[in-house]
Amino acid sequence: MERRAHAMLFPFPCSGHINPTLKLAELLHARGVHVTFVNTEHNHERLRRGAAAAGLRGREGFRFEAVPDGLSEEDRRSPDRTVRLYLSLRRSCGPPLVALARRLAEREGAPPVTCVVLSGLVSFALDAAEEIGVPAFVLWGTSACGFVCTLRLRELRQRGYTPLKDESYLTNGYLDTAIDWIAGIPPVRLGDVSSFVRTLDPQCFALRVEEDEANSCARARGLILNTFEDLEPDVLDALRGEFPRVYTIGPLAAAMHAAQGSGHGGAGPAGLSLWEEDAACMAWLDAQAPGSVLYISFGSLAVLSPEQLAELAWGLAASNRSFLWVVRPGLVAGDRGADALPEGFLAATRGRCFIAAWCAQEQVLRHRAVGGFLTHSGWNSTAESIWAGVPMVCWPGFADQYINSRYTCGEWGVGLRLDEALRREQVAAHFEELMGDTGRAREMRRNAARWKAAAEAATAPGGSSYESLGRLVEELRLGDD
Ligand code: UDX
């Protein structure tokens, strides 16, 4: 009798990791894999309290479980809560994961855990998988180019490119140094390889965490990426020289949509969100003309200074066009949100601006009224925009966002880049250019339509991502046989 695969999935507990892992869980379940999705107790509680709580009840063959994250309330309020969370999970989360897998094995009706699927930043779960005695797979949540650049951080450090000698290196042109030796990646600026090269810290804490986490993927049985073959062929070729089993199954949003369309998989828990989504923004979009609205969001982690917020706000206000802006609580330094918008801004943009604390981004991007996306170039957002066929204005600020932005504007021809130092004049000019009718805008729209079609083809039956997911399921099923 064929053994039923049972995947235990454990993402780093932030939206940028939870969202793609939930989608992968849903896709695996739709292909017959038994799924246990493990949240931290803190997030489990947040989800339980949220509007999406119904999804948490799970279904036949799809369960949610939780393990403690070990953080105190003081840690949670700290500005460096993400670092504290990372360290705390490393310290304390392995044994509860192993214990959970053993408990699941004793439960009636569920097959024993046959594999662990983790996201980036939780490499300690590789040890847990070893202890459980099952293979591990890593869903690294960035583009392939983002992953390869992170892998090469070690070499950049060893060759002396980073850490920077002093603060002047941030602005004296040093970050423009050409890096032309990363296999699979075209010549790029040093500053675009990763935000982590900008460190002045002689210990390079964040840099070392990133490089260690990426390099630890070599210990996994396979590497899963939310991208598709046609989007990044050269870098995927190069990557396969180091990682023999790379599964490109994205864009995940498109794969989910295709699975729902074909009846493989319902809306499911992939719609779970740590934040409450503002439904009113969809009604507002319904009333706008096709392609007329710029959507603006900086994901779940970015923090802007009040000065940056003001430059953005007045740049958007100057354009005279309509926009939907996600200003989540915590987007502005000092744990502030929409209350930090400059005085007079809402009055100046009344009737053409909608501010939401959080929204159903995939639906927003697919809405006919949305014609452009001002983004921080987080990979989930970028992949969702590519799938929706929406051109972007990119303002990267962290981690892989610089290389995503470089590819969006350069390789894929679907974006305009803002300078690092935000200026309202440039915000207004890029807004105009993206949404207007210049030759460049038309070309970006043509490219975006082409990538949208390619993303749909990759995730449709017979497409490269569809087939790659099939191979992954096969591999999960084989386990250690
Ligand atoms: C993090 C890192 O910052 C990013 O560099 C990396 O590529 C992925 O992990 P984050 O900053 O949250 O992610 O950005 P992003 O990857 O774009 O993910 C944000 C997710 O939140 C997207 O799936 C987006 O659809 C969702 N979102 C965002 C909403 O559902 N509603 C919103 O209002 C805003």
Which residue has the CA at smallest separation from atom 8 of ligand 1?
A: 16
Please tell me the predicted confidence (pLDDT) of residue 332. 96
Positive or negative CA dihedral for 202, 203, 209, 214?
positive
> Are the C-beta atoms of 265 and 272 separated by less than 8 Å?
no
> Are the C-beta atoms of 372 and 435 separated by less than 8 Å?
yes
CA 379 to chain centre: 4
Distance (Å, whole) CA 389 – CA 212: 34
Q: In the chain, what is the straight-line distance between the N-terminal and C-terminal CA atoms, in Å?
A: 14
> Are the C-beta atoms of 264 and 30 separated by less than 8 Å?
yes
For the chain of 481 residues, list the mean pLDDT of each consecutive stretch of 10: 84 92 95 95 85 70 94 89 94 96 86 96 97 97 98 96 96 97 98 97 91 97 98 98 97 93 57 83 98 97 96 96 96 94 97 96 97 98 98 97 98 98 98 96 98 98 98 84 54
**Residue 119: phi, psi to the nearest 5?**
-95, -175
Return the best residue to mutate from 193, 274, 361 for the ligand 1 pocket (most ligand atoms within 8 A of CB): 361
ipTM of the complex: 0.99
Please tell me the predicted confidence (pLDDT) of residue 268. 55
Residue 362 amino acid letter: E
Please tell me the predicted confidence (pLDDT) of residue 477. 84
358 lines ligand 1 (CB under 6 A): yes
Please tell me the predicted confidence (pLDDT) of residue 263. 56
Residues 6+ positions from 438 with CB-CB distance below 8 Å? none
Distance in Å, CA 385 to ligand 1 centroid: 12
Sheet with 392-394, side-by-side order of all strands: 353-356, 322-326, 293-297, 370-375, 392-394, 415-417
Residue 450 amino acid letter: R
379 lines ligand 1 (CB under 6 A): yes
Paired tokens of 328: 């989540």
Distance (Å, whole) CA 166 – CA 153: 19
278 lines ligand 1 (CB under 6 A): no
Residues 6+ positions from 359 with CB-CB distance below 8 Å? 277, 278, 281, 282, 297, 324, 326
- Specify the DSSP element, H or E, that contains 402: helix 401-406
Return the best residue to mutate from 122, 195, 300, 386 for the ligand 1 pocket (most ligand atoms within 8 A of CB): 300
Residues 6+ positions from 326 with CB-CB distance below 8 Å? 295, 296, 297, 298, 356, 357, 358, 359, 361
Residue 85 exposed, middle or buried by CB count within 10 Å (0-12, 13-18, 19+): buried
397 lines ligand 1 (CB under 6 A): no
Assessment of whether the complete model's pTM goes beyond 0.90 = yes
**Three-state secondary structure of 304-345:** ECHHHHHHHHHHHHHHCCEEEEECCCCCECCCECHHHCCCCH
Distance in Å, CA 479 to ligand 1 centroid: 31
297 lines ligand 1 (CB under 6 A): yes
Angle at 227 between CA 114 and CA 258, to 5 degrees: 80
Which residue has the CA at smallest separation from atom 9 of ligand 1?
A: 16
Residues 420-447 as b/e (b if ≥16 CB within 10 A, e otherwise) read eebebebbbbbbebbbeeeeebeebbeb
Distance (Å, whole) CA 337 – CA 328: 6
Instruction: Compute, in degrees rounded to 10, the torsion defined by CA atoms 231, 234, 235, 237.
Output: 110
Closest CA to 361 of 348, 374, 351, 350: 374
Please tell me the predicted confidence (pLDDT) of residue 274. 79
40 lines ligand 1 (CB under 6 A): no
Distance (Å, whole) CA 23 – CA 269: 8
Please tell me the predicted confidence (pLDDT) of residue 266. 47
Please tell me the predicted confidence (pLDDT) of residue 393. 98
Residues 6+ positions from 199 with CB-CB distance below 8 Å? 162, 163, 164, 206, 207
Distance (Å, whole) CA 385 – CA 143: 13
Distance in Å, CA 50 to ligand 1 centroid: 19
391-394 CB contacts, 8 Å cutoff, 24+ apart: 391/415, 391/434, 391/441, 391/444, 391/445, 391/447, 391/448, 392/416, 392/434, 393/294, 393/417, 393/418, 393/430, 393/431, 393/434, 394/418
